[in-house]
Structure 1
């Protein structure tokens, strides 16, 4: 019997998947409920998983996959995959960390500019027949950008914002001071970054340690003129505390591409605020990024189907497989 690859939430890319992955029969499903995933994974060797469009890969789903050898997240995120369950069952989990870096960095810059220049308000004003907008924007020149998380995306944002002649502060306990200095930034603790930054941009991965990283206490440290940008994960910010801070004008603006609940609830108070710019978790959704990401996914999954694993997030499984 040949190998089988289950592709979830990507039926619109089925033709592409079949063209680029030749080592297995491709089975694609847009019905991403736990029940259906359990049924379809039973004889699958691997899963190519579109996180934003799929039900979480739970322990139950993993344990239904009696032949399952790997799960490959099509993007950088894998928090909706039960990695511990995969590890317990000898299943390799991979992600794709590089394909969307530029698109997310550019989207971050777009949100910074939209907030700083009041672009959404200005557009709405003109559409409604107005002309002059009383709410002024601010310059970025000589202002301070605080970057929380200095991985691939954080670094690309820093490179771009240096072009606006901004001062760059970085909070990342895992990156050396010299490395940050060489990219034109200054390493600081989180409190210093929040107090001194005019714009705070979040690029940390979501972990148990970073969940709720920005809460009531952290928001109170920020300047009343400060802008908060989040293109990472909604759970990094206490959304209720952020809404309160925005309503009370304790910070000036927020530009958000990610939310605690996605799609965002229709009764979410963020939707009623006039000092936010909201986008629907679309930072990765550029034609260039999708093509790049899917080409890289094709190569990675082909290798995995032949027992070669890259970008593994639970490497302890590989040790077990060698025994």
Structure 2
């Protein structure tokens, strides 16, 4: 029996890739950069399955280029790169990799928060530049974390994991989310507040909301003007939730003290972007989930979603569970 043909848009860890290669006629895009649009459209033409990344735009046009496509497995918890409504209308199952990266991403949010609070990257640059001559009472003074107020913009899996870690620092934790979680308020001793209060009272704001039309550039000039001049912004969610130029201006003008980012808009930032000229910002590649174990588990879940869809079985982690895999619909 012929193996189903699939396209995998980047090399993924072996634990997931082996499952796919064992059961599928798989073509793997092995370049560092994602496949160009015209290449992606050509590669999926005869495929029954697609394993995509956040960098791949999977829209109605692509789906119509792939009349045999049964399943789209996204190697990410987010899926704003996929037109889920278009997939559902065509009977194409969509899967993601939720849950597995929660703790790893929460760890990284804390790594960013601490590095910004205590100016770790500036300290490394100071040493490497040969400027460290002696101990100085005013050298690279940062902000305390213990006992400070942490504001969480979003209280899903990752936001609540960050809140749990804050207990070890005796922080006051406040949050805003469209869906109030009184169960977590009791469990974690956190407070629900409105957006204005969150921005006005927080010493640290950590973003953990999905990118939606409502959250696009939610953190903008008006919000920066509400923040304390000593406040620090952390973003491990999605870059476009923050207005990048407004952030640059707020950091440049001292409206806020610092930012620490694992995601940006655009992503990646051009080397000549003005944000990179500032010393009061930490910017990393999109690596909040980048531990060996987490990325391997993501690969396994993505592979299991792909294989289940090819077999016409329910996906282990479905985005559109109402779709019965394998029953492609004409649009």
TM-score between the two structures when normalised by the length of structure 1: 0.92
- Which residue of 1 is the match for residue 125 of structure 2? 124
Change (3 A) 1:322 1:273: closer
2:204–2:232 Cα contact (<8 Å) kept: yes
- RMSD of the alignment, in Å? 2.2
CA contact (8 A) 2:94 2:319 kept: yes
How big is each residue's C-alpha offset from its partner over 1:8-64, in whole Å with a ceiling of 9 and x where there is no partner? 122x64785134554322122246122222222122111111224xx3123221111
State the number of aligned residues: 320
Asked whether the 8 Å contact 1:101–1:152 carries over to 2, the reply is yes
- SS in structure 2 of the partner of residue 314 of structure 1: coil
1:313 and 2:319 equivalent? yes
Assess, with a 3 A threshold, how the Cα gap between structure 1 residues 188 and 321 changes in structure 2: closer, same or farther. Answer: farther
Distance in 2, matches of 1:92 and 1:61, equals 14
Which residue is 2:48 aligned to?
A: 45
Report what 1:138 is aligned to. Answer: 143
Aligned to 1:266: 271
Q: For the Cα contact (< 8 Å) 1:5–1:27, is it kept in 2?
A: yes
- Aligned equivalent of 1:36, options 35, 39, 58: 39
Looking at structure 2, the residues matched to 301 and 70 of structure 1 have their Cα atoms a distance apart, in angstroms, of 6
Q: Which runs of 5+ in 1 are unaligned?
A: none
Q: How does 1:74-89 map to 2 (within 5 A)?
A: 74-89=75-90
Who is 2:114 aligned against? 113
Q: Highest relative contact order (Cα 8 Å, sep 6+), 1 or 2?
A: 2
Q: What's the CA shift for 1:74? A: 0.9
C-alpha contact 1:48 1:301 (8 A) present in aligned 2: yes
Distance 1:319 1:190, change over 3 A: farther
In the alignment, structure 2 segments of 5+ residues that lack a partner are none
- Range with greater deviation from structure 2 (166-175 or 309-318): 309-318
Q: SS of the residue aligned with 2:323? A: helix
Q: 1:160 aligns with which of 158, 165, 187?
A: 165
